[in-house]
Amino acid sequence: MRTDSKLSRMLHVLLHMARQNKIFTSEEIAHMLSTNAVVVRRTMAGLKSAGFIQSEKGPKGGWHLIVDLEKITLLDIYNAVGEPTIFAIGNERENPDCGVERVVNAALEDAMQQAQTILLTRLKSTTLADLAFQFDQICKNRIDKA
């Protein structure tokens, strides 16, 4: 089981935006994510449409966060990036001729549906502020150990 990398990548970007409180260019984000700026702009468009970020044009332009972290859930981000596929496993064929394969497909489909419901519920109850707090704790612990 894996979450779509687009979701985790955008969470990564948004937390950096929140903690650094600056405008990030598409090129900076692309470098951060080891991708290219075109991919970044396409993905950021969904976050912009959802009202989470804003873009500034011009030589000092880029992307910045415009909403309180307490008001954005992980489910909001999931929806804004296009409700990516949650599970990498699935049925090979929708309507197999083999009865065994039909039974196996039904069992796997039921299990994946239950797991998806649990995951989406968890995403709905977790805010970006929750993640930011956990990140801050990691940073504090590193400082305390130094």
**What tens digit of pLDDT does each residue of 114-143 get?**
988 999 999 999 999 999 999 989 988 888
Confidence class for position 48, pLDDT limits 50, 70, 90: very high
Q: How far apart are CA 55 and CA 39, in angstroms?
A: 15
**What tens digit of pLDDT does each residue of 4-24 get?**
478 888 999 999 999 888 899
Residue in the structure block whose two tokens are 């649990």: 118
**pLDDT over 90 percentage in the chain:** 49
Asked if 74 contacts 68 with a C-beta cutoff of 8 angstroms, the reply is: no
What mean pLDDT is predicted for residues 106-118? Answer: 88
Confidence class for position 2, pLDDT limits 50, 70, 90: very low
Closest CA to 40 of 67, 18, 12: 12
Q: How many CA atoms lie within 13 A of 33 on its CB side?
A: 27
**Is residue 63 within a helix (H) or strand (E), and if so which, with residue range?**
strand 62-65
Q: How far apart are CA 89 and CA 3, in angstroms?
A: 11
Q: How far apart are CA 28 and CA 83, in angstroms?
A: 25
**Tokens matching residue 51:** 């009202």
